[in-house]
Chains A and B, each alone.
Chain A
């Protein structure tokens, strides 16, 4: 099972991540009354980028981008996608730390390029990360304290027997807070500060072309996948649906259906998020930080206090 998931999970995550990128572009375009690119456009772009010219600013420029994609794939091994997971070592804390490596690799790579626009983008990325990590850490601590475990798999398993965490009284506020910061984690519309093409010529991506850009896009797709999948795993019970699969538990069908349910949940979260966020203009970085440190943090904090009081 673990061996199987080592091969399946990354491929699934890469394709679904790219597909979601396409879907989000399409939906945003339809909300804006544009036609929009085809859904598989990001996939086409990645394949094409590999054969195109690229420039390099030395070994660390290449190293950073490889490190970033590598760590994103390793992150996928930790995520229970339905019943598929390959690694549990270190639990959610190790997961959180590995989530760092992706942006860190990109930052290393862009900063090694010597392009000031990239450096500005990197500084914005870290500020935004600090801004959303404050509520995110509170949310994850509430979840870990409530279930009294640091294992992601166990969190999903407990929900399979007790129902979705999002519907329980204890964890509804952390769930809401996570949903509010989700666009910041994914780097979409109101929080599109990092790449801001009109201001800093796409920021960290400015020097990437060809295979570097392809690697970056793949990493971006994985980041989208991880952000959504973590929400589904922690608050929406992963690949379970009100005990629907219990009669056929253990069979191959249950396995496949589990993954499908998981992906449908992700898609629903993505689309709801897009509907809300596509109509907003871009925040300035201070506004983003103030927003993220105000409402989501407050909600997450109250959520954590409630969890502590209940237990």
Chain B
């Protein structure tokens, strides 16, 4: 009953907001926030409801269905609440920009399309929503024009390749089973041959791999993230890209089924182990490329690719624990990467569009809230204990180590240790170090930008200390796939092979920390000095030119930069250039002169006649 309200509020809200923008921009802002918050309320009201709704009966004779189950609810609540924060953040960020009606329309439409994707009960409505999402994403990526246009085109070309693969998959499913309903397909799947299952898995994996930026299908992502407006970069990295993970879950565990997916192929050359290894590569290489970036958003974008690898590894490993880790990491990643993009956005806002890591610094004195967001965000990204990223990564590591896959575990752990370097560079070059003089009087962060940052920071800590809250929902998803239930308590996870209890660690850190804080306070009081009062072993300090940011890891760059090129991007560019050249050459045949075409016809006829005379073929 409530599902149709949800869908109509989602899509109707987007259109209403657009038309309200034509009347007054204030009304549009209010409506945008109202509709996105209304979605949050409706979805949370639907907690633990399992329902179905027939959307449209006669789509070329196929019924279009939307349905709600634990997996759909989990993704839906993440989508609506995180998008709502992005909308609230946009209020100040997008003020005084042009084409804001169009921006809000697209943002809400993408929100609605993502909701429709996770709710869709058949592959046709899935495909339609997927296309709405892809195209509106293209429009928003290229919102800033100039440099953003090529980024958008790169995205849409790759996205279209993915969509075509999905279309082939859906058509082949329809011709074999004469249905597009997901649960009916799943029933038919038991009778399908293993070759056919493998075909389906591979063709859908290309679609979802492109969306989730699994290496080597990742090349659209860095430019797209860097060039879109920051609140949308946040949505794009947090939820939209992770529709790929939703797709992987759907095809692997709902449509094809867990027991089939895990046994397609033999040994190393089975589907899930190759996917896990692709995930491992996706973790390691982008993490190291991220270290070389000088653009704050591009650095985060490369981490977006890398963290996607953890989810893939967790899911592909296909045990309850790994699956829980993978799905939980999807949520955690969404929270902290959105937080980080919003923090960078706050800096962009205050410094009139600067996000270059070499020209900023010392902003923690001027923008404490953004700094808090940045600090907790990178802690989550690394997975420092007490932040949410720790729990999900712990689950994935444990799965890999006890599942006798130490080399995969090594890739995953190495990714984390590489992450520390680049994210510390991020934090240091933006917030720490000396504050340059030209940024002494920057704009203050408006309240509507601070609220989302604070909420997300608190969520990181909440899910880090009480991971049981989301893990209970995730557990119900895993059970719905037919896996064993995990033993989840509110503060962690307990099992016979090692428990995790975050309250323990939290209490220990809190108690020891407060003891040391008291000792620190009790000791002789220190005098506070300003940033120019530095010890330089007697050397004279040139003021304002004494900041260590450019080439933060210089020795490493010298060693590693020849090896860390995005070879796939270069390869695809080459292919694109070759295609362009080929098409150009073919175009030369079509000159547009009637005489030339007549000549072609005569030449062809002449060829036919001489062929007949010589070999008498006809």
Q: Are A93 and B398 touching (Cβ within 8 A)? A: yes
Q: Are A114 and B531 touching (Cβ within 8 A)? A: yes
Q: Are A127 and B498 touching (Cβ within 8 A)? A: no
Q: Which residues from A are CB-within-8-Å of B502?
A: 89
Q: Which residues from A are CB-within-8-Å of B18?
A: none
Q: Are A87 and B397 touching (Cβ within 8 A)? A: no
Q: Are B433 and A60 touching (Cβ within 8 A)? A: no
Q: Does B406 contact A (CB under 8 A)?
A: yes
State the Cβ distance, A28 to closest chain B Cβ, in Å.
23
Q: Are A116 and B547 touching (Cβ within 8 A)? A: yes
Interface 1/0 per residue, B390-424 and A, CB below 8 Å: 10001001100110101101100110011011001
Q: What would 11 A/B residue contacts be, using CB atoms closer than 8 Å? A: A56-B527, A57-B531, A60-B432, A89-B499, A90-B498, A113-B534, A114-B531, A126-B420, A129-B417, A130-B417, A134-B417
4 further interface pairs, Cβ-Cβ under 8 Å (given A130-B420, A142-B406): A108-B432, A115-B535, A123-B548, A284-B555
Task: Across the interface, name the chain A residue whose C-beta is closest to B505.
Answer: A89
User: What is the bound-complex CA distance between A289 and B553, given in angstroms?
Assistant: 12
Interface 1/0 per residue, B496-513 and A, CB below 8 Å: 011111101100110011
Counting from the closest, the 9 A-B pairs by CB-CB distance are A111-B432, A201-B537, A114-B531, A119-B548, A54-B526, A89-B501, A211-B523, A116-B548, A56-B526
| Most chain A C-beta atoms within 10 Å of own C-beta, residue among B375, B418, B553 | B553
User: What is the bound-complex CA distance between A180 and B114, given in angstroms?
Assistant: 52
Q: Does B126 contact A (CB under 8 A)?
A: no
Given contacts A98-B385, A111-B428, contact A77 B508 (CB under 8 A): yes
Q: Are B526 and A55 touching (Cβ within 8 A)? A: yes
Number of cross-chain contacts by CB at 8 Å = 224
Task: Across the interface, name the chain A residue whose C-beta is closest to B389.
Answer: A97
Q: Are B384 and A133 touching (Cβ within 8 A)? A: no
Chain A residues near B (Cβ < 8 Å): 10, 50-58, 60, 62, 66-67, 69-71, 73-74, 77, 87-91, 93-94, 96-98, 100-101, 104, 107-108, 111-117, 119-120, 122-123, 126-127, 129-130, 133-134, 137-138, 141-142, 144-145, 148-151, 201, 206-207, 210-212, 214-215, 284-286, 289-290, 304, 307-308, 311
Q: Are A289 and B433 touching (Cβ within 8 A)? A: no
User: What is the bound-complex CA distance between A134 and B428, given in angstroms?
Assistant: 24
Given contacts A55-B533, A286-B559, contact A114 B362 (CB under 8 A): yes
Q: Which residues from B are CB-within-8-Å of A137?
A: 410, 413-414, 417
Q: Are B555 and A289 touching (Cβ within 8 A)? A: yes
Q: Which residues from B are CB-within-8-Å of A149?
A: 402, 497-498
Q: Are B523 and A50 touching (Cβ within 8 A)? A: yes
State the Cβ distance, A195 to closest chain B Cβ, in Å.
13
Q: Which residues from A are CB-within-8-Å of B406?
A: 141-142, 144-145, 304, 307-308
* Interface set, chain B 361-392, CB cutoff 8 A to A: 362, 364-365, 375, 382-385, 390
Interface 1/0 per residue, B545-577 and A, CB below 8 Å: 011110011111011000000000000000000
State the Cβ distance, B87 to closest chain A Cβ, in Å.
31
Task: Across the interface, name the chain B residue whose C-beta is closest to A126.
Answer: B421
Number of B residues, CB within 8 Å of A: 73
State the Cβ distance, B107 to closest chain A Cβ, in Å.
34
Task: Across the interface, name the chain B residue whose C-beta is closest to A109.
Answer: B432
State the Cβ distance, A156 to closest chain B Cβ, in Å.
14
Q: Are A94 and B513 touching (Cβ within 8 A)? A: no
User: What is the bound-complex CA distance between A258 and B397, given in angstroms?
Assistant: 32
| Most chain A C-beta atoms within 10 Å of own C-beta, residue among B382, B528, B535 | B535
Q: Which residues from A are CB-within-8-Å of B404?
A: 145, 308, 311
Q: Are A70 and B516 touching (Cβ within 8 A)? A: yes
Q: Does B520 contact A (CB under 8 A)?
A: yes
Given contacts A114-B534, A137-B417, A210-B523, contact A90 B509 (CB under 8 A): no
* Interface set, chain B 310-347, CB cutoff 8 A to A: none
From B424, B425, B434, B528, contact of A114 by CB (8 A)? B434
Task: Across the interface, name the chain B residue whose C-beta is closest to A151.
Answer: B498
Q: Which residues from B are CB-within-8-Å of A116?
A: 433-434, 534, 546-548
From B410, B433, B505, B555, contact of A119 by CB (8 A)? B433
User: What is the bound-complex CA distance between A308 and B385, given in angstroms?
Assistant: 29
From B382, B401, B497, B546, contact of A141 by CB (8 A)? B401
Given contacts A62-B520, A100-B420, contact A91 B498 (CB under 8 A): yes
Q: Are B536 and A117 touching (Cβ within 8 A)? A: yes
Interface 1/0 per residue, B209-246 and A, CB below 8 Å: 00000000000000000000000000000000000000
Q: Does B529 contact A (CB under 8 A)?
A: yes
Given contacts A116-B548, A286-B555, contact A54 B497 (CB under 8 A): no
Q: Are A201 and B536 touching (Cβ within 8 A)? A: yes
Q: Are A127 and B546 touching (Cβ within 8 A)? A: no
Q: Are B524 and A150 touching (Cβ within 8 A)? A: no
Given contacts A119-B548, A141-B410, A201-B536, contact A211 B421 (CB under 8 A): no
Q: Which residues from A are CB-within-8-Å of B56?
A: none
State the Cβ distance, A96 to closest chain B Cβ, in Å.
8
Chain B residues near A (Cβ < 8 Å): 362, 364-365, 375, 382-385, 390, 394, 397-398, 401-402, 404, 406-407, 409-410, 413-414, 417-418, 420-421, 424-425, 427-428, 432-435, 492, 497-502, 504-505, 508-509, 512-513, 516-517, 520, 523-524, 526-529, 531-537, 546-549, 552-556, 558-559
Given contacts A66-B516, A74-B512, A150-B402, contact A54 B559 (CB under 8 A): no
Main secondary structure of the interface of A (DSSP, over half): helix
Q: Which residues from A are CB-within-8-Å of B537?
A: 117, 201
From A112, A117, A211, A308, contact of B432 by CB (8 A)? A112
Q: Are B433 and A114 touching (Cβ within 8 A)? A: yes
Q: Which residues from A are CB-within-8-Å of B553?
A: 123, 126-127
Q: Are A67 and B513 touching (Cβ within 8 A)? A: yes
User: What is the bound-complex CA distance between A91 and B385, given in angstroms?
Assistant: 12
Q: Are A71 and B498 touching (Cβ within 8 A)? A: no
Q: Are B401 and A144 touching (Cβ within 8 A)? A: yes
Q: Are A51 and B536 touching (Cβ within 8 A)? A: no
Given contacts A56-B527, A134-B414, contact A73 B420 (CB under 8 A): no
Q: Are A87 and B524 touching (Cβ within 8 A)? A: no
State the Cβ distance, A265 to closest chain B Cβ, in Å.
26
Q: Which residues from B are CB-within-8-Å of A111?
A: 427-428, 432-433
Q: Which residues from A are CB-within-8-Å of B558?
A: 286
User: What is the bound-complex CA distance between A52 and B537, given in angstroms?
Assistant: 20
State the Cβ distance, B609 to closest chain A Cβ, in Å.
70
Q: Which residues from A are CB-within-8-Å of B413?
A: 96, 137, 141
User: What is the bound-complex CA distance between A91 and B516, given in angstroms?
Assistant: 25
Q: Which residues from B are CB-within-8-Å of A62?
A: 520, 526
Q: Which residues from B are CB-within-8-Å of A10?
A: 512
User: What is the bound-complex CA distance between A284 and B428, given in angstroms?
Assistant: 23
Q: Are A211 and B410 touching (Cβ within 8 A)? A: no
User: What is the bound-complex CA distance between A66 and B365, given in angstroms?
Assistant: 20
From A69, A88, A123, contact of B516 by CB (8 A)? A69
Q: Which residues from A are CB-within-8-Å of B500?
A: 89-90, 94
Q: Which residues from A are CB-within-8-Å of B531?
A: 57, 113-114
Q: Which residues from A are CB-within-8-Å of B421?
A: 126-127, 130
Q: Are B505 and A122 touching (Cβ within 8 A)? A: no
Q: Are B385 and A94 touching (Cβ within 8 A)? A: yes
From A115, A150, A210, contact of B497 by CB (8 A)? A150
From A67, A87, A100, A122, contact of B428 by CB (8 A)? A122
Q: Which residues from B are CB-within-8-Å of A284?
A: 555
Q: Are B524 and A201 touching (Cβ within 8 A)? A: no
Q: Are B364 and A130 touching (Cβ within 8 A)? A: no
Task: Across the interface, name the chain B residue whose C-beta is closest to A307.
Answer: B406
Q: Are B498 and A60 touching (Cβ within 8 A)? A: no
Q: Are B394 and A90 touching (Cβ within 8 A)? A: yes
Q: Which residues from B are CB-within-8-Å of A212?
A: 526
State the Cβ distance, A66 to closest chain B Cβ, in Å.
5
Q: Are B529 and A57 touching (Cβ within 8 A)? A: yes
State the Cβ distance, B397 to closest chain A Cβ, in Å.
5
Q: Are B401 and A215 touching (Cβ within 8 A)? A: no
User: What is the bound-complex CA distance between A254 and B347, given in angstroms?
Assistant: 60
